[in-house]
Structure 1
Amino acid sequence: MEKEIPDQQVDLDPACYAPYASPRRFITDWTDKIWITRGIGRLGDHYAPDIKVHTCYGETYGFDDVISNSLQKMVAFPNRGGGHDDVIWEARGPSSFVSSHRVFNNATHLGHWTYGPPTGKEWVNRGIAHCLIVDGKVTEEWVIRDEYAVLEHLGLDPFEIARQLAVRSPVLGAEIGSLDNAPALSGTVDDPVATGISGVRPARFERECARVREMFEDVWNRRLFDAVGEYFDDTIVCQTVRLRRVMNIAPYQLEVMKLLAAFPDAKIEVRDIVANYSDDLGLRIAVIWLLRGTYCGSPIYGPVNRAPVRILGASHFELRGDKIIREWRIYDEIAVMAQILKAETHAA
């Protein structure tokens, strides 16, 4: 396997991640300034005024929405902290890069929030923020969080919250519209190994990235679950939603199959790929994926109603040689349930 040159020597103008020492530090240090020391106004240091934020519930455009949503969240969870699990970054030309930032969040529900009045309970979850940074400014962001885990820890009914969010999106404050036309969930990406939703990729780790894409096609779309062993190490560990953790081939197969069982006609599409090698963490590949299907299978999320569903997800893979040894898979089940319940309400 080729060894990528160290982060600080990549053909990337240091001005695009200044004043930090590396793209990784750009993300982690700036995030801590905002959320740990509460410098919420420092969002403007590196967010573009016309930033586009893509979520599982809808789209927001502009810096004011970012400030508003962040302020409300900080009041609801004033002790919110986050462990920087990893930052998988990759250049997009000499003056921009993509960062896929995986965070393990923890907080106490001490203020009013989308989910209601404070419960005083603690919660933990994982999330991934996939950002395009151009000339030191985040111009576009894809945000995916495991909100089901939060509701479980707060003791709230996920079906009731999903029903509320179907008519009052936490992003837009209005009913969730058709997700077919939302930029994050529409269109197709022909060859994400070359060009994804974040732009043209550098000619690095093309073989490994193509193999990850091939895995999604074989295992997820062709339903060749017996091919898991061709792509994953026998000791594969997958951390996924609701803080589930599965180990080894057979449990991994079932974890994929459980999601597809609810949407048996679903197809998954890889929309963006980011690869990074570092001496401390080895080779990791981040993927933004989109699963399109119909709720026509196992009644995991309540009565089956054939609702069209779009699941925006992210996976981080850690590789050793030709095999994947770790995966972190994040998607928002509450957003999935909101789509299902919205269709149920409209049908009634």
Structure 2
Amino acid sequence: MSDTETNPKSKGAPFLRNEENVLQVERRDYPDLAPTGRPRSQSMDGFDDIYTDIVDYIIRCTHKIWDERDIGLIYTHYTHNCVLYGTTGNIYNREDVVRDTIQRLVSFPERRGMGTQVIWNGNDKDGFYTSHLVTGSGRHTQYGHLGQPTGRPFVSRTIADCMIHRNMIYREWVVADQMAIIKQLGLDPNHFAARTAKTKFDAGLISLDIGENRRFLGQTRPAEKPDLSHAHNDIEVQTIEMLHEVFVKRMFGKIAEVYAPTAQYHGPLMKELYGVAAIVHQHLGLIGSLPDASYEIQHVASNPSEEGGTKVAVRWVMEGHHLGYGILGELGDPTGKRVQVMGMSHYHWKDGKIVDEWNVYDELSLLVQVKLGQLAEAA
């Protein structure tokens, strides 16, 4: 790959790719990812001296804040007006990020968040964009936002996408699989979702149904071709085109063409699926619950992988109505309520096929949205 790649939709405008020796997560233990004495391997103007590259920055500061409990680093790593977009609500300032972090750690004092992979693009002049897949584990041992401690262990996945400039995160999207934690702790998802929805409703929030989504207009067909403006190289173009075929055009047979026969799927509720048929059924089940849903890609990044091939990160949003049956069994019978799904996916392409997919979205968020709509309707 050359130092400058061409964005396929920008008429030859260059997309700068740093080819320096940036760390990769998958094959390294934590001490190697947060080294001492390693010389800076990437231009990091404006970043603290301790960070050798953008992957070191994300892995190290996340570990220090969440595992070593140096929560005060948020003040030097987030802007005062940062925006954090979550699946059940947003945060609009740094002080609330500090408060939210403390509250979550109160309930799970043994929690550990292990970096699984970091996919990134950008540079220190224009800013970096990172997509950080974390596998978190711990036990529910203290009273907190989930109520009385159950003492049970849990493991779940989270993907956090960050926009960073000169050591400061100024925008972040977090998709945490809260439903996986709720179920593993033996809590009732419907009770927890109803309580969350009631809190939001009492604060004046309701779910407004604004009619047709953006998948098509009136009686027209879905768009034949996808918007490739987010792509920076051929593998990102291929990923966007595959997702358009599957989620916009509903051509689920495309999965059999693009995925390797031995592909693995790492999904919500810590699902581990193997083979094309299981992956088709998983994605079909999501659309089954929201059969009119649109699918919009918001960001794409990719890196060559030391394991061979390329890893691609995609942040996406689906909007639709709960009109059918699918994998979202906790929603029960179709309610007709409008819901939005914010999700993030990582794909490992190797020899022209997808061999691994990591997919994170939160079914608990959908349940909260349905119950919020029901509260608004009853009122």
TM-score by length of 2: 0.81
SS at match of 1:168: helix
Aligned to 2:262: 235
Q: What does residue 336 of structure 1 align with?
A: 366
What secondary structure sits across from 1:14 in the alignment?
Answer: coil
**2:50 aligned with 1:15, yes or no?**
no
Name which of 167, 173, 181 aligns with 1:136. Answer: 167
The amino acid across from 2:348 in the alignment is: E
Closer/same/farther in 2, CA of residues 50 and 7 from structure 1, 3 Å limit? farther
Alignment partner, residue 229 of structure 2: 194
Q: Which amino acid aligns with 1:194?
A: S
Task: Please state how far the C-alpha of 1:94 moved relative to its aligned partner.
Answer: 2.6
Q: Which amino acid aligns with 1:240?
A: G
Deviations 1:169-192 (A, max 9, x none): 5xx9946544889xxx99xxx987
Provide the residue aligned with 1:310 in structure 2.
340
Give the length in aligned residue pairs.
Answer: 332
Partner of 2:57, secondary structure, is helix
Larger radius of gyration: 2
Confirm whether residue 252 of structure 1 aligns to residue 279 of structure 2: yes
Q: Indicate if the aligned counterparts of 2:86 and 2:175 stay in contact, CA closer than 8 A.
A: yes
Query: In the aligned structure 2, how far is the partner of 1:281 from the partner of 1:24?
Result: 18
- The alpha-carbon deviation at position 303 of structure 1 amounts to 2.6
Are 2:56 and 1:25 equivalent residues in the alignment?
A: yes
Distance in 1, matches of 2:128 and 2:155, equals 29
Unaligned runs of 5+ in 2: 4-16, 24-40, 215-224
Alignment of 1:1-348 (within 5 A): 5-8=19-22, 13-19=43-49, 20-91=51-122, 94-169=125-200, 174=203, 176-178=205-207, 193-195=228-230, 203=232, 206-280=233-307, 282-298=309-325, 300=329, 301-348=331-378
Q: Deviations over 1:118-167 (max 9, x none)?
A: 22211110000100001110000000011111011110001111111112
- Is 2:226–2:240's contact at 8 Å kept on the other side of the alignment? no
Letter in 1 for 2:229: A
Partner of 1:198: none
Deviation string 1:231-287 (CA, Å, 9 cap, x unpaired) is: 211111110011111111111100000111111111211111111124356421111
Deviations 1:75-117, CA, capped at 9 Å, x for gaps: 1111110111001111157341011010000111122222212
Within 2, Cα distance between the matches of 1:13 and 1:95? 12
What letter is aligned with 1:264? P
8 Å contact from structure 2 (residues 136, 157) kept in 1: yes
CA pair 176-277 structure 1, distance change in 2 beyond 3 A: farther
What displacement does 1:222 show? Answer: 1.1
Runs of at least 4 residues off by over 6 Å = 1-4
Q: Which amino acid aligns with 1:24?
A: V
The change in CA–CA distance for 1:152 and 1:22 in structure 2 (over 3 A counts) is same
Deviations 1:263-322 (A, max 9, x none): 111121111111112435642111111111110111731231110110000001111132
Structure 1's unaligned 5+ residue stretches are 196-200
Distance 2:109 2:226 in 1: 42
Mapped contact 1:193–1:273 kept (Cα < 8 A): no
Identical residues among aligned pairs (%): 27
Q: Does the Cα contact within 8 Å between 1:12 and 1:91 map onto a contact in 2? A: no
TM-score, L = length of structure 1:
0.88
Which has the higher mean CA deviation after the structures are superposed, 228-237 or 241-250? Answer: 228-237
CA-atom RMSD, angstroms?
A: 2.8
Taking the aligned partners of 1:48 and 1:192, their CA distance within structure 2 comes to 32
